[in-house]
Amino acid sequence: MPEKPKVAFYWCASCGGCEEAVVDLAEAILDVVAAVDIVFWPVALDFKRKDVEAMPEGSILVSFVNGAIRTSEQADMAHLLRSKSKLLVALGSCSHLGGIPGLANLFDRESILNAVYLESPSTVNPEGSLPATHHKDDGHTVELPRFYNTVQALDQVVEVDYYVPGCPPTPRIFRTALQTLLGDELPAKGTVLAPDHALCDECPRKDTKPERLSFVEFKRPQQVLIDEQECLLAQGLLCMGPATRAGCEALCVRGNMPCSGCCGPTSRVKDQGAKILSSLASLVEGKEEAEIDRILSTIPDPAGTFYRYSLPASLLHRKKLDGCHCKNR
């Protein structure tokens, strides 16, 4: 019997949802297990880093890495898996674009650590100690990973072959991606393994979207009784669908919630947030500045809305740091 292709999974700065997504394959996971040999999967199997280090270069067919890169350890693991794998695949929004952890790029390391370890009301830290990379205790030195100033998408740290989008990728997207990767014909390097058009194309409410859309107010889902048939943008809800890659079959919209943009932009767009912003802003009804301001003020968190999953990979990348920009890490 020929040797089965070796597959690895790893997680970086993520919530664990992408691991769930693998499990969400349900019965299909048996087919996967039958077809491949999982050589590394810290969340489920007891392999250690040294096991990976012992593997020959390029011996893993595909490594799926989810999560963004936020610490030095994650960057090290990304490099390690890159060298051991033929194909490195970014799985899920965080790895693909930076994801929700990437919103930390609106701050810097210092203010994040202060908020978490000193300022939060539930914190008791009378000595004001903060995480450090080295700690000496009883003659021993303990080393901890370094916490970067900036969250990065996987491909900003190592070369990435393919991307599986979504937060998390839906079972269908993941299954299709697996089939593609295990198949004979690989798509062009750098391909996002999902359709390359926007979500509206597969949205069940597409026909109800008016030709002349305009906004006098943006509403949040909890403020209105959402009609289950009508285009959400037409109801004044901020749906990211027009600027978001399809493939998820509009699951959120089917669940009567607006698309939040997790699959990222199409291949033609460098900055998903800028694109939806430019599109929606063009459709704001007001002519006078005060009226426009009023309409736009109904979007309480523009950065977190338009760049929810894509800030590190966007043209903006992060909030400007004071002083030298080489302080990136």
Q: Is 3 helix (H, G, I), strand (E, B) or coil?
A: coil
142's torsion region: left (phi>0), alpha (psi -120 to 50) or beta?
beta
Q: Is 176 helix (H, G, I), strand (E, B) or coil?
A: helix
Closest-CA residue to 66 (of 41, 35, 36): 41
CB of 239 to another protein, least distance (A): 10
CB of 52 to another protein, least distance (A): 37
Q: Is 30 helix (H, G, I), strand (E, B) or coil?
A: helix
CB of 176 to another protein, least distance (A): 19
- Contact residue for another protein among 158, 198, 232, 252 (CB under 8 A): 198
**Structure tokens that stand for 200 in this block:** 């509206």
Stretch 271-290 residues interacting with another protein (CB under 8 A): 275-276, 278-279, 282-283
Parallel, antiparallel, or unpaired for β 37-40 and 6-11? parallel
CB nearer to another protein: pick between 177 and 269: 269
**Residue 197 lies near another protein (rule: CB under 8 A):** yes
Segment contacting another protein by CB under 8 A, of 62-70, 72-80, 161-169, 203-211: 203-211
CB of 315 to another protein, least distance (A): 10
Q: If DSSP states are collapsed to H, E and C, what string results for 49-68?
A: HHHHHHCCCCCEEEEEEECE
**Structure tokens that stand for 229 in this block:** 């048939």
- Distances in Å between the alpha carbon of 95 and those of 14, 119, 199, 262? 8, 29, 21, 12
**Residue 191 lies near another protein (rule: CB under 8 A):** no
Structural contact between residues 153 and 69, judged by C-beta atoms closer than 8 angstroms? yes
- Contact residue for another protein among 71, 85, 95, 266 (CB under 8 A): 266
Structural contact between residues 88 and 65, judged by C-beta atoms closer than 8 angstroms? yes
**Residue 295 lies near another protein (rule: CB under 8 A):** no
CB nearer to another protein: pick between 63 and 266: 266
CA angle (118, 122, 126) in 5-degree steps: 45
- Contact residue for another protein among 50, 134, 212, 320 (CB under 8 A): 212
CB nearer to another protein: pick between 3 and 207: 207
- Distances in Å between the alpha carbon of 169 and those of 40, 61, 228, 304? 20, 20, 24, 20
**Residue 268 lies near another protein (rule: CB under 8 A):** yes
**Residue 51 lies near another protein (rule: CB under 8 A):** no
Segment contacting another protein by CB under 8 A, of 6-14, 178-186, 264-272, 320-328: 264-272
- Peptide bond before residue 204 is cis, with ω within 30 degrees of 0: no
**Residue 199 lies near another protein (rule: CB under 8 A):** yes
- Contact residue for another protein among 87, 181, 192, 200 (CB under 8 A): 200
CB of 266 to another protein, least distance (A): 5
CB nearer to another protein: pick between 43 and 213: 213
**Residue 246 lies near another protein (rule: CB under 8 A):** yes
Q: How many CA atoms lie within 13 A of 278 on its CB side?
A: 7
**Residue 270 lies near another protein (rule: CB under 8 A):** yes
Radius of gyration of the chain (CA): 22
Which residues lie near another protein (CB under 8 A)?
A: 196-201, 206-207, 209-214, 241-243, 246, 265-266, 268-270, 275-276, 278-279, 282-283
